[in-house]
A and B are shown apart, each in its own frame.
Chain A
Amino acid sequence: MTFARDSYRSVVVGAGIVGLFTAYHLAREGGGPVLVIDRGFLSSGSSGRNGGGVRQQWETRATVRLAREAVAAYRRFGREFGFNIWFRQTGYLFLAENAAELARLRSVHALVTSEGLSSQVLDADGVARFVEGIAPGASVGGTYLASDGTLYPFPAIWGVHEAAKSLGVEVDLGVEALGVEVRNGRVAGVLTSNGAVTAATVVNAAGGWSGEFSRRAGLEVPNVATRHEILATEATKPFLDPMVVRASDGLYFSQSMRGEVIGGVAVPHRPGTARGQGSSPTFLGAMARALVGLLPRLGALEVLRAWSGFYDDTPDGFPVIGEDPRLPGFVHANGFGGHGFMLAPATSRRVALSVLGQPTDLDPAQFSPVRFLGPAAPATAERLQLG
């Protein structure tokens, strides 16, 4: 297999939701010709491995705003992209196990409300109304935002993939990005497992592998790939509407359109991609204990399958977006920390604009690729990571 051309305006590394949306916006903004390459098959990375949650409850204003834009984009998705992603806005319910957690959720509620979203603070009875069968005493309350929701990730990938291709974007799968070619201090091309191509810009949208690719380009970045596991149960009739999240142990689960309970919980993993995207008995046990402890009747439900994917974590929990001043032509669209699907519709147009050298409204202190280089740690951080 060879590429259709020798030279592209931009090469996007990673055909996940971030890379595909970026390529789509690049093609729309006149940034073509665009080539997207991915080492795996379509949906083989985290975009095909997440729980499908899309929420607007965050601890920082910048993330709330991006997420609100993303929700609006997913509401339009079926009309614009021709695929039904089953975006179901039945809310996100954050549970608190004690007063300190409830206080933290109240401050999230205050921020979210100040952005014009109608979040609610619930007491224990309010939580029980949303989570039928919750164990007594399992929660002291929580927050709920009805316009949050879940979607089915796969059709979203097919939709953006096909839309990008119809705008002339070339997508080549099974091709690994090995490094960048640098001439006169800026990007001149990309070295791939399929040979070299000339390109003025390379966009690093490689998700869990983005830290590795940046380092291959000689750029020191703090991105760390962290494996997170997830499972799905057999399908039953609907009994749970919202996505339920417990920040204390990172438990999250929802019931999909097909009726499966899908979710995960935090268990320790060694950093890096070396262990692959498999599962562990540790996770199966921890997840079962967390689920059955919260909703005892789930004990009689069966696990169908478990899998895992990588969060591309940054020290402050914000993604890295924009051109790297150390290497002109190298543009970051990574570090989403497991929230690429939640934010990509909002961030990708901004990535495309920075590829085209146009200014964006993103605060460099929160999103710049070089914010970690100074002696001081970034001032703000987004810590509402799981779920």
Chain B
Amino acid sequence: MEGPDRRFSFRGRTHSARDGETLLSALARDRLPLVHRSIQYHRPQGPFCGIGHCTGCLVRVNDRPNVRACRYEPAPGDIITTENAWPSPNWDAYATIGFLTPGGVDSLHGLRRPAFATRLFQRMVRRLAGTGAPPTDAAARAIAAPAVERSTEVVVVGAGASGRPVISALVARGVSPIVLDRALRAPPLDGGELFPATTAVFLPPPSETGARPFTVLAFREPAQGVRIRARSVVVATGSYDASLLFGGNDRPGVVSADAALSLAAPPRRPPFRRAVVVGGGPRAARVLETLGPAVEAVVAPGEIRPEVVRVANEHGVLLYPRSLLIRAAGRRYVRSVHLEARGGGVRTTIGCDAVILAHRRIPHAQLFFQAGAAMEWRPGVAAYGPRVLASGATSVPGLFATGSAAAILPSEAARHAETVADAVVRGAPSNDPARAPAEVPTELLGYYRELLRTPGHGRWTACPCVDVLVKEVENAVRAGYRGIEVIKRYSSLGTGICQGRYCLPDALLLLSLLEGRPPNEVGYITQRPPVVPTPLAALAALPAEPAAEAAP
């Protein structure tokens, strides 16, 4: 649907968004905007993930706090402001907290004395903590919507590259699934019933009895509760571009490949001119194919694959294989990156206006974990995914996986969709062999072993949502604490808005090095519901359910 530009107010000035454009895209016409400061030290923080998980683009919309600009399409008349920075995110007086505490604030041991000042400290810390002001009643009323409750045979979560073939295959077998897709504007389907802009947030283990053992909780933007009971669930949530540890890794201009590709999708012009792409595999090649003219250099932790070299040569892009990415520098925005050739080699500085992380994609596996599916370590990406049989069946009867969340390669997707649809309709075959994806272990652990010899790395940010420094993790290990679960509680790492999606995968590698044991032995990360922050209004609108957990 084509419509007139939607005019909205951002920080008191009128802007306009084209139809189908998110707030972030509207603000990022020329360059990535700086709308947010980090929560504790007020470092400038830019849009990072581009898919609605991180804190980099949080703004206040019509008195609703912490709205992700990358997941919000402005409506005419919206009043949008920034949060937690004074007078503005560009010039934030609170940044003095960072200057005054160059070694970080020790909230575990600090501010205990003198005892008479306790109340003063607490008031001060409370005032500084938190992001936006609390919402107003009007904001809550504006987003409230009646809930949707349904009962069906099959739910498919994800209508992307791997979900669509499964949906078609199910329709061909006479099953019309309910499809939940997170994209704000998902293209229509050939069959099935599509819930667009709808995120599945909770898939508890199936109940032991009943024809429809699964309950999928979801919400449709902005705050409509959705609850679906189903006999089977196919999860095709795909994967996402991971973060990387280095100095300034959340500085405005550092973005994931997910964000870069969505912000620069044609016909848009990329909001950068001279980007450094990090990674030497297929994802880096994809970024180069789309954004080649705006790329200055490719930096890879390991080797750079021939397909990347080929595209890079077409665009005259410089190549830096086997390089440590040490720091993204610049007063507010990224202006350069500092590299060191691995093995203690030459140091290089590359001028740039963006750093695009395309070095590893890890599965969106939270729903599998919640449902109680057996998980396995994926050495190729140093992350966990569901254990999947050839038919796509997981260890939970009725729960199936396909696509990259299940380590299915794009080239296998179409064939796997048919297999999964058969298993969903007829039940998983009894002679269902285990899938053993042949994966080359990632070199990332060796990379980090070298990188973390860099002096001053303790002040790098290990968790951008909560502003946890690498040295806080190191201190926890030094104090004798072991394992990701306890380190998370000791340092608060992974307890922010992204729920550890971006920091915990690297924290596993960091801990592996500090504790001297393989990364898959430092523990698993509990994936608590909801998968994505969910408005209380959406949950409150759901009708009370007969207590499945009731005492007998």
Contact = CB atoms under 8 A, between A and B. Distances in A.
A296 B540 CA distance: 10
Contacts of B113: 78-79
Given A79-B113, A284-B529, A303-B530, A235 B130 contact: yes
Contacts of B223: 299-300
Contacts of A364: none
B479 interface: yes
Interface stretch (A107-115, A119-127, A265-273): A265-273
Contacts of B530: 284, 303-306
Interface string B471-493: 00000000111110110011000
B198 interface: no
A301 B109 CA distance: 31
B202 A281 contact: yes
Contacts of B109: 82-84
A380 interface: no
A289 interface: yes
A292 B551 contact: no
B112 interface: yes
A301 B129 CA distance: 16
A183 interface: no
B539 A285 contact: yes
B205 to A, nearest CB: 8
Contacts of B549: 227, 267-270, 275, 280, 282
Contacts of B486: 41-44
Contacts of A270: 549-552
A156 to B, nearest CB: 11
A281 B534 CA distance: 13
Contacts of A238: 126-127, 129-130
B129 A296 contact: no
Interface in B95-152: 107-113, 115, 118, 122, 125-127, 129-137, 139-144
B528 A301 contact: no
Contact of B536 (A155, A162, A165, A303): A303
Given A282-B549, A285-B545, A300 B131 contact: no
B202 A78 contact: no
A48 B545 CA distance: 29
A291 interface: yes
B100 to A, nearest CB: 18
Contacts of A78: 112-113, 115, 118
Contacts of B544: 285-286, 289
B122 A158 contact: no
A157 B537 CA distance: 35
A281 B108 contact: no
B485 A44 contact: yes
Given A41-B486, A234-B497, A268 B547 contact: yes
Interface string A294-323: 001111111111110000000000000000
Contact of A297 (B139, B489, B534): B139
A247 B18 CA distance: 51
Nearest to B112: A78
Given A78-B113, A288-B536, A302-B534, A259 B141 contact: no
Interface residues of B, number: 75
A219 B135 CA distance: 53
A289 B540 contact: yes
A218 interface: no
A44 to B, nearest CB: 7
Contacts of A257: 122, 125-126, 129
Contacts of A154: 489-490
Contacts of A372: none
A5 interface: no
B542 interface: yes
Interface in B451-503: 479-483, 485-486, 489-490, 495, 497, 499
A237 interface: yes
A307 B534 CA distance: 15
A192 interface: no
Interface of B: 39, 63-66, 107-113, 115, 118, 122, 125-127, 129-137, 139-144, 202, 204-205, 215, 217, 223, 227, 370, 479-483, 485-486, 489-490, 495, 497, 499, 523, 526, 528-530, 533-540, 542, 544-545, 547-552
Given A236-B66, A299-B135, 4 more contacts: A82-B109, A238-B126, A299-B536, A300-B142
| Closest 4 A/B residue pairs (Cβ) | A259-B130, A299-B537, A299-B140, A288-B539
17 contacts: A41-B485, A44-B486, A83-B109, A83-B112, A84-B108, A84-B110, A236-B135, A237-B127, A281-B202, A282-B545, A284-B539, A285-B539, A299-B140, A300-B63, A300-B64, A300-B139, A303-B536
